[in-house]
Amino acid sequence: MKKFWLALSIGCVALLGGIYLQFYYHQSGTVILKFRAIANNTPLEFNQPLYSNPGGEGHFSVRNFQFYLSNVQLVGKHSRYKPSDSYHLARFDNDTKSYQITLKDVPYDEYSGVQISIGVDDQANASIMPRGDLDPNSRMAWSWEVGYKFVLFEGDLSLTSQKQALVYHLGFSENLKILQFELNSSLVPNAAPLNFTVDVMALFNASQTINMAELPSVKFDRQDANRLAENYALMLSLASTD
């Protein structure tokens, strides 16, 4: 009789444990990706000539800096999570110098990697339909063809004898950069935010060093746009969680 009750107890515990695990693993929650803009390892400052021209003389200021992050994917142990209309316009002209993507209703999983793109994929880039933060009437849309500026940077370069305007509007199809980040520990929904740094200096000094005095503007030249795109592919880094 004792063996019967012992077996019954073990069976009940196993059943309840299975029900709990099934319930637990079918929960969903929120995942937050936070991006902080930096320059020279300190928070980005706007409208101040604080930053040295990487390729020559002078110091530059940042008046406007924004770019599209798109097609966020979370790589899990059991599946890959792909939110719909994942097009996000990252801006940093706020008190925290940061931008946040909040993913809601993320299925429970142990996520070990994040994929994210800088720019807009061909399908969305060739469409005038608003999706996410894509707006064909916004400043990030090209005025001369359908499509979007992937990265927009504007500022001034202060030289000894003059001030030179800086205008970099980048966004040909080939400038789309798909980035992969492997996490040191698994990420689950409702955990602390996943933090990234955005190094503005890398836009001009990563795979190639740019002399702003010699190249103060890039809009329509594919070769120059490709040079800066190779740089901005390296401006995002994974940081620690809060």
* Percent of all residues in the chain with a pLDDT value above 90, rounded to a whole number: 85
Domain boundaries, the chain: 27-238
Q: Is the pLDDT of residue 179 over 80?
A: yes
Residue 23 clears pLDDT 70, i.e. is over it: no
Q: How confident is the model at residue 233 (pLDDT cuts 50, 70, 90)?
A: very high
Q: How far is CA 53 from CA 60, 156, 197, 198, 200, in A?
A: 6, 11, 21, 18, 12
Whole-model pTM? Answer: 0.88
User: If pLDDT is split at 50, 70 and 90, which confidence band does 27 have?
Assistant: confident
The enclosing H or E element of 20 equals helix 2-25
Q: What are phi and psi of 79, to 5 degrees?
A: -160, 175
Q: How far apart are CA 122 and CA 131, in angstroms?
A: 13
Output the six-digit token pair for 202: 């890398």
Q: Is pLDDT above 70 for 3?
A: no
Region 76-94 average pLDDT? 96
Confidence of residue 12 (pLDDT cuts 50, 70, 90): very low
| Cβ atoms within 10 Å of 104's Cβ, excluding its own | 11
CA-CA distance, 174 to 229, in Å (whole number)?
Answer: 9
18 pLDDT more than 70: no
Interatomic CA distance for residues 113 and 23, integer angstroms: 24
Determine the straight-line distance between the first and last CA of the chain, rounded to whole angstroms.
54
Q: What is the mean pLDDT of residues 117-128?
A: 96
The pLDDT of residue 17 is above 50: no
Q: What is the mean pLDDT of the chain?
A: 91
pLDDT digits (tens, 9 = 90+) for 138-167: 999 998 889 999 999 999 999 998 999 999
Specify the pLDDT at position 145: 87
Tokens read off for 183: 């996490």
> How far is Cα 99 from Cα 7, in angstroms, rounded to an integer?
55
SS3 (DSSP) at 155: strand
Beta strands in 18-150 (DSSP E): 28-39, 42-43, 51-52, 59-76, 80-81, 87-91, 98-107, 111-118
The per-residue pLDDT for 221 is: 95
